[in-house]
Amino acid sequence: MHRTRCDRAPAWSALRALYETQGRTLDLRQAFAADEGRFERLSLQAPHVFADLSKNLINAAIQAQLTELARQCGVEPHREAMLRGEHVNSAEDRAAMHFLLRHPGGAAARELAPSVQASLREVQGVLDAMLAYAQAVREDAAITDVVNIGIGGSDLGPQMAVLALDAFVDHGKRYHFVSSVDGHELSHVLRQVRPESTLFLVASKSFTTLETMTNAHSAKAWFEAQGGRDIARHFCALTSNVKAAAEFGISTCFGFWDWVGGRYSMWSAIGLPMAIAIGPRHFRELLAGAHAMDEHFRTAELARNLPVQLALLDVWYRNFHGFGSRSVAPYHSGLRRMQAYLQQLEMESNGKRVDEAGQALPYATSPVIWGEPAANGQHAYFQMLHQGSDVIPVEFIAVRKVAHDLPEHHLKLLANGLAQAQALMLGQADPGGHRHMPGNRPSTFLLLEELTPTSLGALIALYEHRVFVAGSLWGINSFDQWGVELGKVLAKAIEPRLESGDSAGLDASTAGLLKRLRG
């Protein structure tokens, strides 16, 4: 299918001109003063997520031209190609059909391409089996600890969601996530658990990832050394490499497909720790929330399509304003791993310097994504957001109703979120003084009614599609990650040198550090 790279679309030049005449000098305070309807016009209700975009550095003309950019770049046919199961992951010659993992099937499946419908049947078969297994584990009082061993997409999504959905979690069991090859992590967990009451989930799409396989081997060795016998009961693999799992000695296995990218996989078997924690009904609600967002993305016109509009803001800020990062500020402690999750989703997807054909791009792509749960961030780096020399767009995520019984805390929390967004925009006059805050600093405010499986599913799907659209505009393949390979190869070569001390042929810095590390 034909895609037009953003800088080759006529709207790109039009946006350049608009940036010079209106964008560069746009003042949010004046924009609100001049337009009573700005909040209504620039806010959007998508399924389970309300978005206030009005504190962004855009006006009606800019927004219209950005939307025109999406049209001219072929975002819609590209979206349809993904939904038809075409190989939009061109470098790896694969489809990217994570949306299928949350499709409800039934009558709604009629709009899917026939080839995709066949995959949906497989998806639903594995989902049913995995949820039945999750329920059995939930009912098994002898299992008190669930240890997920996985990294990247095989860790971040489930871990983030188990924390976020704490109000729905079965607290009869403890959930542990071991990701790094740093032995502190695994040994810390192994000190707390017993072999007869622990279920290890080895989560790895490839079943070859060094960190995960090292941890899995050590966990199995520990289990056997402690007298554990029943591997089939105490080890379960979540992988698309069933053969490797069997060779490892794990017979209980839930599979998924090469068309599920690691960072898009929390809806697949990789979601098992979540399914055990929140139960099958809530897991299905998570999928339903994501599907509602998929439908919004598929059907809403570009101008009212939230993932599209957020992606356009990303392009506007990165390529016209030259902003290098975006700070994510969740005003809900349950979302404390959200930034880590988004860092992989966005930066591993769109942190690329070449287009789909491998040609160097003449413009910047993914911003740096960073942040902390915001009440803490306020007392740490928000100083820089208000008075630093860089402008950093902030994305607030707030939840209207909470699941604790300290309403006065929530009022204070929300007041702080609103106040920070307001302060960023309004600033403060203190000519020549240290209290001067320039203001006019942009932010987006995402609001959930409640943090539930449904709304979390919708929120994550929103981010997935936003990343797809931004990647589509930038002309890159958002579904590969070659950049992480070199380090893996070099680590394999360095490991034996750390043992032997052989530094021949190494650069002087690596050789010097190697020598020091050997002591």
Residues that bind ligand F6P (CB under 6 A): 151-154, 204-206, 209, 212, 262-263, 348, 481, 484
Closer by beta carbon to ligand F6P, 33 or else 490: 490
Least distance to ligand F6P, CB of residue 488, Å = 7
CA angle 309, 154, 467 (to 5 degrees): 15
Least distance to ligand F6P, CB of residue 303, Å = 33
Q: Which tokens in the block code for residue 176?
A: 């542990």
Among candidate residues 268, 273, 253, the one with its CA nearest the CA of residue 207: 253
| Catalytic residue chosen out of the listed positions 243, 379, 492, 515 | 379
Active site residue 173: no
Active site residue 404: no
| Catalytic residue chosen out of the listed positions 188, 401, 436, 488 | 488
Least distance to ligand F6P, CB of residue 273, Å = 14
Which pairs from 361-366 meet CB under 8 Å and 24+ separation?
A: 361/5, 361/474, 361/475, 361/476, 362/7, 363/6, 363/7, 363/318, 363/319, 363/474, 364/318, 364/319, 364/322, 364/324, 365/318, 365/470, 365/474, 365/476, 366/318, 366/470
Rounded Cα distance between 95 and 92, Å, is 9
Run of H or E including 114: helix 114-139
List 443's β-bridge partners, or say none: 394
Closer by beta carbon to ligand F6P, 169 or else 461: 461
221 contacts: CB under 8 Å, gap ≥ 6: none
Least distance to ligand F6P, CB of residue 348, Å = 6
Backbone angles phi, psi at 334, to 5 degrees: -60, -25
Q: Does residue 107 sit in helix, strand or coil?
A: helix
Count of CB atoms within 10 A of residue 504's CB? 6
Cβ neighbourhood burial of 7 (10 Å; 0-12, 13-18, 19+): middle
Least distance to ligand F6P, CB of residue 186, Å = 16
Least distance to ligand F6P, CB of residue 252, Å = 18
| Catalytic residue chosen out of the listed positions 68, 285, 346, 348 | 348
List 45's β-bridge partners, or say none: 50
Least distance to ligand F6P, CB of residue 82, Å = 18
Phi-psi region at 127: left, alpha or beta (left = phi > 0; alpha = psi -120 to 50): alpha
Closer by beta carbon to ligand F6P, 54 or else 215: 215
Q: Tell me, what DSSP letter sits at residue 236?
A: E
Phi-psi region at 432: left, alpha or beta (left = phi > 0; alpha = psi -120 to 50): left
Question: Could you tell me how many helices (H) and strands (E) the chain has, helices first?
Answer: 22, 11
Active site residue 412: no
Among candidate residues 316, 426, 319, 422, the one with its CA nearest the CA of residue 59: 316
Q: What are the catalytic residues?
A: 348, 379, 488
